[in-house]
Amino acid sequence: MRIGEVAAEAGVSVRALRYYEEQGLLRSERNAGGQRLYTESAVERVRLIRQLFAAGLPSRSVREVLPCVDEGTAPPGLVDHLEVERDRISERIADLLAARDRLDVVIANTRNPPPECEHMW
């Protein structure tokens, strides 16, 4: 697959793919004309990279995780680091859910104000 095809299918920019390569997160081959060529699995790898970035992992951590995905093994200490990251993500999810719940209350009260709020309108 060419770089534009991977970018379109994965929903990222061509620039992002180049960055992932610079960071050692993604590999490509070059054809005779120097164009990047990717395997079909590159799209799923890019989606995984995006998920890990969205979760807040830095590229250094993503670079450590990807071989674990590929080979099913992890260097010493990495699993502990990943558990810390997972816990951080879980806390973030809890915070976001609490914020959503507060917004639900505000929305509900705005649509149907309780009697004690009617004087405000």
Question: Do 78 and 52 share a domain, yes or no?
Answer: no
Tally the domains of the chain.
2
Q: What is the pLDDT of residue 12?
A: 97
Question: Do 35 and 87 share a domain, yes or no?
Answer: no
pTM > 0.85: yes or no: no
Residue where a domain terminates, one of 58, 82, 98: 58
Question: Do 1 and 54 share a domain, yes or no?
Answer: yes
Question: Do 4 and 54 share a domain, yes or no?
Answer: yes
Alpha carbons 76 and 88: distance in angstroms, whole number? 20
Alpha carbons 87 and 16: distance in angstroms, whole number? 27
95 in a structural domain: yes
78 in a structural domain: yes
Chain Cα centroid distance, residue 41? 17
Question: Do 31 and 1 share a domain, yes or no?
Answer: yes
Q: Are 29 and 37 spatial neighbours (Cβ–Cβ below 8 Å)?
A: yes
68 in a structural domain: no
3-state secondary structure of 119: helix
Domain that holds residue 114: 74-121
Question: Do 51 and 81 share a domain, yes or no?
Answer: no
28 in a structural domain: yes
Question: Do 54 and 90 share a domain, yes or no?
Answer: no
Question: Do 93 and 52 share a domain, yes or no?
Answer: no
Digitized pLDDT (tens) for each residue of the chain, 121 residues in all = 999 999 999 999 999 999 999 999 999 999 999 999 999 999 999 999 999 999 888 888 899 889 888 888 888 888 898 899 899 999 999 999 999 999 999 999 889 887 776 555 4
